[in-house]
Amino acid sequence: MLRKTTADLIRDCRRGVASIAIACPIFGFAMPTYAADDLVIADFESKTYEPWTVTGDAFGPGPAEGTLPGQMSVDGYAGKRLVNSFFEGDRTTGTLTSPAFSIERDYIGFLIGGGKDTQKLALQLLVGGEVVRSATGPNDQAGGSERLDQDSWDVKDLKGKQAQIRIVDQATGGWGHLNVDQIVQTDTRPVGPIRNAKRNFVADATYLNFPIKNGADKREVTLLVDGKVAVVNTMELADEGADWWAPMDVSEWQGKTLTVQVDKLPESSRALESIELMDERKQSDNLYAEPMRGQIHFSPIRGWNNDPNGMVYYKGEYHLFFQHNPYGWGWGNMHWGHAVSRDMVHWTELRDELLPDEMGPMFSGSAVVDWNNTSGFGKDGEPPMVLFYTAAGNPTIQGLAYSTDGRNFTKYEGNPIVGEVTPGNRDPKVIWHEPSKRWVMVLYVEWKGKHTVHFYTSPNLRDWELASITDGDAPGGRYLFECPDFFELAVDGDPNNKKWVLTAADSVYAIGSFDGKKFTPEFERLPGHQGRGFYAAQTFSDVPESDGRRIQIGWWQTDTRGMPFNQSMTIPLELNLISTDDGPRMTFAPVHELETLREVTHDLGAFELTEKDANPIDQIRNQLLEVEVEFEPGDAEQIVFNIRDVMVVYDPQSERLHVDNHSAAAPLRDGKQRLRIYCDRTGVEVFASDGLCYVPLPFNTKPENQRVHFEVRGGSIDVKSMKVHELRSAWKGH
């Protein structure tokens, strides 16, 4: 090693450049000594991996020159090359192992990125052939980044031992690859993340409020209650300057010690210290009045929602569970959110009930009331509400939870109730089949390369056996893809003429018969909604017989950027079957409970409208509207509504309805057309042809534009009746 001169020592004493202080031989004050030089284990700048040992084909013939074909842009690596196991895509697997070396420094630093899987994607330190340290990438969900970040292991306790580095890629799905570079031994801990940072709280308030920064790196956040893991989530924690605050309801753990643990944080992060335990949701002063909050559609207080789940009527309340990410604006952390309503219009959101557990995140499912307590989960004469869900871990299984008060739920200790059929099985819909006195589960399964629906039966909701399989890949194209629903409807309201309806996530449906075990379709691949942004709809079970309606709610894909919430639900829809020349067909109609939102009604009565007439609704201004109109089209070429810049145009010649240039079949019925339009801040839902045509359309309206317009182009029409209702917000009073 190059010796220091006296001049060098004096200069370094004055600069204070080294890391360890000893007595300065010249001036008598403490002077720094020099840390040992870093030892490079591998910088991967060669064209081959020699002398490392390669197995499999994931790592290619040698270190990659950055981004590989089909990969997002890779950055953050050192030099010109790196280990990149995306060679020929995520399907490839293999290992890369270093020669043995002696651990001579306090730390081993490295750059790492790519996929996250602690078992199948790992940079490992081996001593005596055993894994003593391991690291993985940050990405296990869609999106993310290929950036490599600095990380390290503290290996002081291993100094002097012989070791090897092994890079493992045994993952084949999305993000099934790892990026690694610049593996170095050093006595100075590399500036990288703090591992498993923790902060303790005493649960003496209702909510832990987490700071969220949209688009930030996802961190694994574990909540421990008295030292035991309660739930694990990924969050885009704000190191400083939160976009919004995500509340976690911790009221069930009052008086206990809560520990928040984050898998890794930058040294400068203020995320942990920013978490606030309080009785309010932080920054919720304008709750439900946010600029892009739908006012007649349900949306969660905070975070993302998608599929409606577990829709059931129980003890005088409609229960709407839903796929919920309480801690992110995008998809992830699948919980079951929970809201209740007396009328399906005014909703109260409760705490999330099904939290991710060791079996996986909580995917979609359904709910029933076990009136006869066949399951044994009821008590004190109270029939239980039973939830059925997919736990999307490895394996992917079906589980249940139950409650006798509709507020507190217990996951069944005997889960799973149905084991994995294939990794794609999900979304159990359970019904009671009265003729056979059995429970029936309808389950989506990707089976033998096809999209199928499996029918299971059970006497007690706990023990299930396969009864039949319905093929969703019949000639004519795929349908019956995920999120099935199954129910019976009377044709034209005739209780003696009922048909079974099997629907799928995109609302394509089949009509047929069911004997308690096998569904026999008579009409298949029938279109449901004819709009866009509508998915995974489900119907309420256990609606009282005195009501008799089949009521559906769908996931409405409303994109609300800049808000602390994202997505919503459609208005509740009443489903029926009516006769047509082509056979029975399903209709959609708004439930009558929505009429309670009417605040001001403009009744225009009956009149003739020509292309020369002025706009008859020109004076009306409101963000929230319901339009009802019945007309005979006469010789008109087009009947045109402009609802806050959403164009709704009916073409009598083709009998088609165009909503914002989206076209749908809307036949005249008895020579007339009946339109009903609901307009919210987040879009429109349009009903035509007595409900045979339903067009939901998410659309971010401009708050300053409240104009409504009605005109005829070419000829005239005979308006039989027309009403425009200005609506009040369903959230008023919350």
Q: Is the same domain home to 467 and 499?
A: yes
Contact 90, 187 (CB under 8 A): no
Instruction: State pLDDT tens for residues 409-441.
Output: 999 999 999 999 999 899 999 999 999 999 999
- Please indicate, yes or no, if residue 286 is contained in any of the structural domains: no
The domain that holds 247 is classified in CATH as 2.60.120
**Distance in angstroms (rounded) separating the CA atoms of residues 488 and 465:** 22
**Distance in angstroms (rounded) separating the CA atoms of residues 322 and 482:** 16
- Please indicate, yes or no, if residue 294 is contained in any of the structural domains: no
Return the bridge partners of 260, or none.
199, 223
Q: Is the same domain home to 614 and 564?
A: no
Look at the block and give the residue holding tokens 């009282």. Answer: 544
Which of 22-36, 363-377, 423-437, 457-471 is the least confident region? Answer: 22-36
Q: Is the same domain home to 463 and 354?
A: yes
Q: Given strand 708-713, what is the order of strands in its sheet? A: 662-665, 656-659, 646-651, 638-643, 708-713
Instruction: State pLDDT tens for residues 225-283.
Output: 999 999 999 999 999 999 999 999 999 999 999 999 999 898 899 999 999 999 999 99
**Distance in angstroms (rounded) separating the CA atoms of residues 223 and 226:** 10
Helices (H), strands (E): how many in the chain?
2, 54
Check residue 734 and give its pLDDT.
Answer: 56
**Distance in angstroms (rounded) separating the CA atoms of residues 356 and 513:** 37
How many CB atoms within 10 Å of residue 655?
Answer: 16
Q: Is the same domain home to 318 and 339?
A: yes
- Please indicate, yes or no, if residue 734 is contained in any of the structural domains: no
Instruction: State pLDDT tens for residues 709-727.
Output: 999 999 999 999 999 999 9
Token pair, residue 207, equals 């909510």
Contact 575, 691 (CB under 8 A): no
Q: Where does a domain end: 530, 563, 590?
A: 590
**Distance in angstroms (rounded) separating the CA atoms of residues 117 and 113:** 12
Backbone angles phi, psi at 9, to 5 degrees: -65, -45
Contact 212, 240 (CB under 8 A): no
What confidence category does residue 552 fall into, taking pLDDT thresholds of 50, 70 and 90?
very high
Q: Taking residues 657-661, what's their average pLDDT?
A: 94
Query: Which of 292, 296, 293 is CA-nearest to residue 595?
Result: 296
- Please indicate, yes or no, if residue 431 is contained in any of the structural domains: yes
Residues found in the chain: 734
**Distance in angstroms (rounded) separating the CA atoms of residues 80 and 611:** 69
Return the bridge partners of 367, or none.
387
Return the bridge partners of 649, or none.
640, 658
Query: Which of 286, 285, 278, 209 is CA-nearest to residue 246?
Result: 209
Per-residue pLDDT for 74 more than 70? yes
Q: Where does a domain end: 152, 186, 220?
A: 186
Check residue 478 and give its pLDDT.
Answer: 60
Per DSSP, 357 falls in state B
Instruction: State pLDDT tens for residues 196-205.
Output: 999 999 999 9
Q: How many domains does the chain have?
A: 5
Cα radius of gyration rounded to whole Å, the chain? 31
Return the bridge partners of 162, or none.
102
Check residue 7 and give its pLDDT.
Answer: 38
Q: How many CA atoms lie within 13 A of 360 on its CB side?
A: 19
345 or 703, greater pLDDT: 345
Q: Taking residues 564-593, what's their average pLDDT?
A: 98
Instruction: State pLDDT tens for residues 111-168.
Output: 999 999 999 999 999 999 999 999 999 888 777 889 999 999 999 999 999 999 999 9
Q: Is the same domain home to 446 and 365?
A: yes
Check residue 536 and give its pLDDT.
Answer: 98
Q: Is the same domain home to 201 and 214?
A: yes
Question: How far is the CA of 591 from the CAs of 234, 425, 655, in angstroms?
Answer: 38, 33, 25
DSSP string for 666-709: ---BTTBEEEEEEEETTEEEEEEGGGTEEEEEE----TT---EE
3-state secondary structure of 641: strand
- Please indicate, yes or no, if residue 451 is contained in any of the structural domains: yes
Return the bridge partners of 344, or none.
none
Q: Taking residues 26-50, what's their average pLDDT?
A: 74
The domain that holds 717 is classified in CATH as 2.60.120.560
- Please indicate, yes or no, if residue 291 is contained in any of the structural domains: no
Q: Is the same domain home to 93 and 120?
A: yes
Per-residue pLDDT for 177 more than 80? yes
Per-residue pLDDT for 101 more than 70? yes
Active site residues: 307
3-state secondary structure of 272: helix
Query: Which of 541, 233, 542, 570 is CA-nearest to residue 365?
Result: 541
Q: Report how far Cα 409 is from the mean position of its chain's Cα atoms.
A: 22
Per-residue pLDDT for 221 more than 90? yes
- Please indicate, yes or no, if residue 58 is contained in any of the structural domains: yes
Contact 105, 185 (CB under 8 A): yes
Q: Is the same domain home to 13 and 151?
A: no
Q: Is the same domain home to 308 and 212?
A: no
**Distance in angstroms (rounded) separating the CA atoms of residues 98 and 51:** 7
Helix (H) or strand (E) holding 231: strand 228-235
**Distance in angstroms (rounded) separating the CA atoms of residues 697 and 657:** 13
Instruction: State pLDDT tens for residues 322-367.
Output: 999 999 999 999 999 999 999 999 999 999 999 999 999 999 999 9
Q: Is the same domain home to 221 and 308?
A: no
Contact 389, 336 (CB under 8 A): yes
pTM, to two decimals: 0.85
Q: Is the same domain home to 214 and 308?
A: no
- Please indicate, yes or no, if residue 85 is contained in any of the structural domains: yes
Between the two ends of the chain, the Cα-to-Cα distance in Å is 74
Q: Where does a domain end: 590, 625, 651?
A: 590
Show the domain range for 14.
Answer: 1-34
Q: Is the same domain home to 469 and 605?
A: no
Return the bridge partners of 566, or none.
304
Q: Taking residues 601-606, what's their average pLDDT?
A: 98
